Structure 1
Amino acid sequence: MTVAAGPRPAIAGDWCYRPYPLAAGTPQAVCFPHAGGDVTAFAGLAAALAPALEVRAIRLPARGGRFTDVMPGSFAALVTSVVEGLLPHLRPGSLFYGQSFGGLLAYEVARALPAGHRPRIVVPACAPPPAAWPGSIPPTGQRASELLERCGLAGALPDDPAIRELAVATIRTDLAVCRSYRPHGEPATFAIHAVTGERDEALPPSVTAGWAAATTGPFTTSTEPGGHLLATPLTTGPATLLRALHAGGPARA
């Protein structure tokens, strides 16, 4: 039996990757990768969400197809760059999904977007809430094996020293940027659904619940199958949950 191939991935500007392009007008799920992560983490999720949602994965510098591009020197500068790169390709009423570091980035990009372009809901997965970030970042000088374990990549990479060394270097770049982050301003007004991974030993539900203080809008939470990284190149991640949230249905408690 021959399995039909999916649509060919496409790039929209420097900052947006479309792993599974769909028809114009399809609602968007904008996905933000974890520290050390790339758009490849969302390939399976994009296929699982079709045809209800089209994934637009954020292409961060200093990795993958943007390996030679320089990462902005601060978290605030990164947010500004993502907003500028994403805005021309963003439709109102989207869903934002971010893993770990990407959860915080999704939240701050959503807050920085002009009124009328902000997402309807932000879904931070396995991410400390903004108030907890300054004290939750592991030291960039940690041993490579410890950094990979802490960031959920220890079992997700091939046993290739060169690839693992590159991943560690990218993690250290992202953590250095994250270290400049400080909570600021008033809480958001959009909905937030915070996710805990059922096998994530680094982030218990009690920490995830702190996202309630990050918005004056609706707040819900759930625990989903998986560890610290829910969507990976080998897994689809919380596709069922994201479809339900997009449709406005109830989330699991």
Structure 2
Amino acid sequence: MTGAADVRSTGPGRWFHRPAPWPDARLRLVCVPHAGAGAAAYGAWGDRLPADVELVGVRLPGRENRLREPPFHDWPSLTGAFADALDEQVRSPYVLFGHSMGAMLVYETVVRGTGRRPERVILSGCRAPAVRRALPAIHGLPDERFREELGRLAGTPREVLADPRLMAVLEPMLRADIRLAETWSHRDPPPVPVPVTTFRGADDEVAPAEAVAAWRTLAPRGIRSHRVPGGHFCLHDRAPEFFRLLARELSLC
């Protein structure tokens, strides 16, 4: 949580990573990672995006070059800090993309009200906010069980899980992220004030079809939905299919 001893930085090199900075790009794609991940999750995307789109990866506290910064433990603090950095450091026009917990942060940011709204939000592998999570919570499990479940979900590389010293450093951040994702909910969620695109994996157990379809009731500005073969990480596992659809979405912005 934020407080007097908080050492988080809002410098542009902290929140955002631009592999190939392009001030005159037609559009910017700002990519928010899933729980436990950083901007590196999107490191290879630059060569796969349309030529006139600039890739902007998001780095949250507690990972990569922000490893020494404490992770956020509540949605209002995280959303407020991210929205402020976005307004200050990302030029319009831009599209906000998020996968899993990253999509939750995208939603919280746009309904909170950023100064400059994105052209569209792209929500990947994410249930709608009024839908209960599909799988049991794991953020409070003992260490060994917690790591086993992380391996099963496939979001954390097995070589990381097998390294006790590395896990000792990363586990507080992983637990904080997963707790945010698992406790995220709205009884009466506000609608998304911009157009929406959803992606889901055909075999995704984390964000099944009905849970993703519920976004339709929160998209008064319009919604387009895509189903990709594969599971929760189909955007990486089935990259060719995913990027064909993503390029089409960006061309329409």
Aligning the two structures, in what range does the TM-score lie when normalised by the shorter sequence? Answer: 0.7 to 0.9
Q: In structure 2, how many angstroms separate the alpha carbons of the residues matched to 1:39 and 1:24?
A: 22
Letter in 2 for 1:218: G
Name 2:231's counterpart in structure 1.
Answer: 227
1:1-47 per-position Cα deviation (integer Å, ceiling 9, x unaligned): xxxxxxxxxx9342111133335334100111101111110011222
Change in CA separation of 1:14 and 1:169 when aligned onto 2, cut-off 3 Å:
same
Q: Answer with 83-92 or 143-152: which moved more.
A: 143-152
Corresponding residue of 2:117: 118
Give me the whole-angstrom Cα distance separating, in 2, the residues matched to 1:232 and 1:166: 26
Alignment pair present for 1:19 and 2:37: no
* Residues 1:208 and 2:212 aligned together: yes
Per-residue displacement from partner, 1:179-237 (whole Å, max 9, x unpaired)?
56442663122111111113423322121101112221101211124431244599688
Residues 44, 234 of structure 1: 8 Å contact kept: no
**Residues 232-251 of structure 1 aligned to structure 2 (within 5 Å):** 232=236, 238-248=242-252
Q: Of 181, 187, 193, which residue of structure 2 is paired with 1:189?
A: 193
1:87 shift after superposition? 1.1
Q: In the alignment, is the contact (CA less than 8 A) between 1:130 and 1:214 conserved in 2? A: no
Q: Residue 179 of structure 2 corresponds to which residue in structure 1?
A: 176
**Alignment of 1:35 onto 2:35:** yes
Q: Equivalents in 2 of 1:70, 1:236: separation in Å? A: 36
Q: Which 5+ residue runs of structure 2 have no aligned equivalent?
A: 1-10
Name the residue aligned to 1:218.
222
Alignment-mate amino acid for residue 70 of structure 1: P
Identity %: 23
C-alpha deviation, 1:122, in angstroms = 0.9
Q: Which residue of 2 aligns with 1:145?
A: 148
For 1:201 and 1:181, the matched residues in 2 are separated by: 17
Q: Equivalent residue for 1:8?
A: none
Distance 1:165 1:211, change over 3 A: farther
TM-score by length of 1: 0.80
CA contact (8 A) 1:40 1:232 kept: no
Which residue type is aligned with residue 148 of structure 2? Answer: S
**Contact residue 198 and residue 225 of structure 1 kept, 8 A:** yes
CA contact (8 A) 1:152 1:227 kept: no
Look up the SS of the partner of 1:238 in the other structure: helix
Structure 2 CA distance for partners of 1:133 and 1:104, relative to 1, 3 Å? farther
CA 1:214–1:167: 2 relative to 1, 3 Å:
farther
The alignment's TM-score, normalised by the length of structure 2, stands at 0.80
Any conservation in 2 of the 1:76–1:181 contact (CA below 8 Å)?
no
Distance, in Å, in 2 between the alignment partners of 1:21 and 1:199 is 36
Q: What SS class does the counterpart of residue 138 from structure 2 fall into?
A: coil
Work out whether residues 41 and 232 of structure 1, in 8 Å CA contact, stay in contact via their aligned partners in 2: no
The whole-number CA distance in structure 2 between the counterparts of 1:49 and 1:103 is 19
Amino acid at match of 2:149: E
Root-mean-square deviation (CA), in Å? 3.0
**Contact kept? 2:196, 2:223, Cα under 8 Å:** yes
Higher helix share: 2
For 1:234 and 1:241, locate their aligned partners in 2 and report how far apart those are by CA, in whole Å: 11
